[in-house]
Structure 1
């Protein structure tokens, strides 16, 4: 069965609708201020940050840290997985 992931926090669900109807605690506007956003890439062994190239084995662990090359400024946003 395919899993769907949030690109901001790595939460997973069996359906897109059940994922995107819930609030995301790592949303860019703040915890609980927006819904989960669907990660549109495929499941991978490693995920890379779109901005700095950091590598992690899961979206959850990648997005858990601030990015030094985030467009909003040094460490002013979290890593974002590249599709």
Structure 2
């Protein structure tokens, strides 16, 4: 059975509908001010940030850190997984 992940926080769900129906604690508009967003890439052993290249073994761990090259400014946003 495939897994589906949130691009913002790495939350894992077994269906797209169950993933996108929940509030996301790391949503760009603020904690729980939006729904989880489907990560459209495939499952990988390492996930890299599309802004700075930092990598981690899970989306959850990757998106928990501030990104020094975020478009909003240095450390003004979280790492975002590349597809």
TM range (shorter): over 0.9
Alignment of 1:4-83 (within 5 A): 4-83=4-83
1:25-44 Cα offsets, whole Å, 9 max, x none, are: 00011000000000000000
- Please, what TM-score do these two structures have when normalized by structure 1? 0.99
2: CA distance, partners of 1:24 / 1:62:
15
Structure 2: which 5+ runs fail to align?
none
Q: How many aligned positions are there?
A: 83
Runs of 4+ in 1 over 3 A off after TM superposition: none
Shift of 1:46: 0.3
1:36-75 Cα offsets, whole Å, 9 max, x none, are: 0000000000000000000100000000000000000000
Structure 1: which 5+ runs fail to align?
none
